[in-house]
Amino acid sequence: MKCGICSEKAVYKRYCSKHFKDYFENKVKVTIKRFGLLKKKDNVAVAVSGGKDSMALLHVLHKLGYRITAVAVDEGIAGYRDKTLKTMTSYCKSEDIGYRIVSFKDNFGKTLDEIMDKEKIRPCSVCGVFRRYLLNLHTRKFDVIATGHNLDDEAQAILMNLVKSNMSLLFRLGPVSGYHNNESFTKRIKPFYLCPEKEVMIYSFLNKLNTEFSECPNVGLSFRLRIRDRLNEIELKMPGTKRNLVDWFLRIKEKLPGDLGSPDTCRICGEPSTKERCNACNYISELKLGGN
Amino acid sequence: MDIFIEKDSKNICLAYEGKVSGLLQKLKVNPETVIVVRGGELIADDDLVSDKDSIRLMSVISGG
């Protein structure tokens, strides 16, 4: 099949390599404009893991001329995170993009592997809480944090929270997530909000970014995996399902009164929290870790 | 046809001639989850593959 725009060979739907990249970058620009995600003068922290989504995000935002710094969280998951971080640092050095790496070990005294070794808990819960905590703590001076969450991620998160009836978590989702108008909370944005994961992968591949398969060794224990697989099965039979789910969610969210308000402050660490003691401090205490 | 399935780090040999979409159906692989590469180049669902080809199925899904 030929590209619908030129006479080159199509590599995906009716797009050749060049016109697919144009289409993808344009979709990101439209998403940024539609949801008011970024201004050109913004100082942007790009949350980077070294995987295909965050590398694609780094590349697109760099190409579109935004002021970016890559920020990575090193949980210390052996055989996984060390490899992906090398990809990030290598790219940043070659493109002259500033970067910083913040680690569980430096901040909590142990890697996630060391924590998991002793405790019988779901790694994803601890990992997620600590990652978000560190990301917020170390990006205070930035205007926004851009994450590589894509359409698939959002559709999965919507379904996960619906299934668990987690309404407060559900309505924190969106292209701009978390709490607004709070100095201690850095606004988070998702420029890939409307981009299917497959398109992100294709973009990464065509730009020769890292597309090597890497999956967290703890992923088999996650609820998200089950939702992800079911959603992909449905999408195959009913194309457009993921996009419809996200569009539905955006319409519902519009009808909610006001915003989420301002979070309280954890009385231990001073970070934003909906409770007197934040989840990170709870885990630090429960797991007897360093930090606070 | 030689096929490398990246997610499983597995090589398989299969007799097949036809469209990429048909190959994925035969392998019971959801097209949402892979991109198909031949000779280092991305190929589309409608492209034809033959027994002489070496194909790589790269997983779209990664991370945790």
Residue-wise pLDDT tens digits, B3-54: 999 888 899 999 999 999 999 999 999 999 999 999 999 999 999 999 999 9
Residue closest to A211 by CA, chosen among B9, B59, B20: B59
Vertex B34: Cα angle to B31 and B40 (nearest 5): 125
**One-letter amino acid of A224:** R
Inter-chain touch A201–B35, beta carbons under 8 Å: yes
Tokens 């001076």, residue located: A141
Residues 5-24 of B with CB under 8 A from A: 6-7
Q: What mean pLDDT do residues A212-239 have?
A: 81
Residue of A nearest to B6 (CA): A213
A19 vs A27: CA distance, rounded Å: 12
Query: How far, rounded to the nearest angstrom, does the alpha carbon of residue A88 sit from its chain's CA centroid?
Result: 15
Q: Residue A141: helix, strand or coil by DSSP?
A: coil
Query: What's the length of chain A?
Result: 292
Q: A210 is written with which tokens?
A: 């890292």
Would you give the DSSP letter of residue B8?
G
Inter-chain touch A206–B42, beta carbons under 8 Å: yes
- Helices in B1-64 by DSSP H: which ranges? 20-27
In order of A97, A190, A280, B9, the CA distances from A100 in angstroms are 10, 20, 21, 32
Query: Dihedral through CA A216, CA A218, CA A221, CA A227, nearest 10?
Result: -20
pLDDT of residue A239: 96
Distance from CA of B37 to the nearest CA of A (A): 10
User: Mean pLDDT across chain B, nearest whole number?
Assistant: 91
Distance from CA of A241 to the nearest CA of B (A): 12
**One-letter amino acid of A246:** V
Among A11, A51, A53, beta carbon nearest to B43:
A11
pLDDT of residue A15: 95
A202 touches chain B (CB under 8 A): yes
Tokens 């997530």, residue located: A177
Check pLDDT > 80 for residue A233: yes
Check pLDDT > 70 for residue A216: no
A170 vs A58: CA distance, rounded Å: 27
Cβ neighbours of A219 in B, within 8 Å: 63-64
Among A205, A214, A218, beta carbon nearest to B62:
A214
Q: What mean pLDDT do residues A13-26 have?
A: 96
Cβ neighbours of A53 in B, within 8 Å: 63
Q: How would you class A66 by CB atoms within 10 Å of its CB: exposed for 0-12, middle for 13-18, buried for 19 or more?
A: buried
A264 touches chain B (CB under 8 A): no
pLDDT of residue A182: 63
- Helices in chain A by DSSP H: which ranges? 17-34, 52-63, 81-95, 104-108, 112-118, 123-137, 151-163, 167-170, 197-206, 223-237, 241-254, 279-286
Cβ neighbours of A215 in B, within 8 Å: 7, 59, 61-64
pLDDT of residue A142: 92
Inter-chain touch B32–A232, beta carbons under 8 Å: yes
Q: What mean pLDDT do residues A225-239 have?
A: 93
Q: Contact A272/A136 with Cβ under 8 angstroms?
A: yes
Check pLDDT > 60 for residue A169: yes
pLDDT of residue B2: 94
Confidence of residue A38 (pLDDT cuts 50, 70, 90): very high
> Within 10 A of A284 (CB to CB), how many other CB atoms are there?
23
A291 vs A284: CA distance, rounded Å: 7
Please write the tens of the pLDDT for every residue from B26-37: 999 999 999 999
A46 vs A67: CA distance, rounded Å: 10
**DSSP codes joined into one string, A213-257:** --B-TTGGG-HHHHHHHHHHHHHHHSTTHHHHHHHHHHHHHHTS-
A279 vs A288: CA distance, rounded Å: 14
Residues 61-80 of A with CB under 8 A from B: 80
Residue of A nearest to B33 (CA): A198
Among B37, B44, B60, beta carbon nearest to A198:
B60
A112 touches chain B (CB under 8 A): no
B55 vs B64: CA distance, rounded Å: 26
Inter-chain touch A218–B63, beta carbons under 8 Å: no
Query: What's the length of chain B?
Result: 64
pLDDT of residue A211: 64
Residue closest to A59 by CA, chosen among A169, A154, A192: A192
A197 vs A203: CA distance, rounded Å: 10
Strand A144-146 vs strand A43-47: parallel, antiparallel, or unpaired? parallel
Please write the tens of the pLDDT for every residue from A234-286: 999 999 999 999 999 999 988 876 555 556 778 888 887 777 888 888 888 88
A198 touches chain B (CB under 8 A): yes
Check pLDDT > 70 for residue A141: yes
**One-letter amino acid of A60:** V
Q: How would you class B16 by CB atoms within 10 Å of its CB: exposed for 0-12, middle for 13-18, buried for 19 or more?
A: middle
pLDDT of residue B7: 84
B48 touches chain A (CB under 8 A): no
As for the ipTM of the complex, it is 0.95
CB contacts < 8 A (A, B): 65
Confidence of residue B64 (pLDDT cuts 50, 70, 90): very low
Who wins on pLDDT, A259 or A176? A176
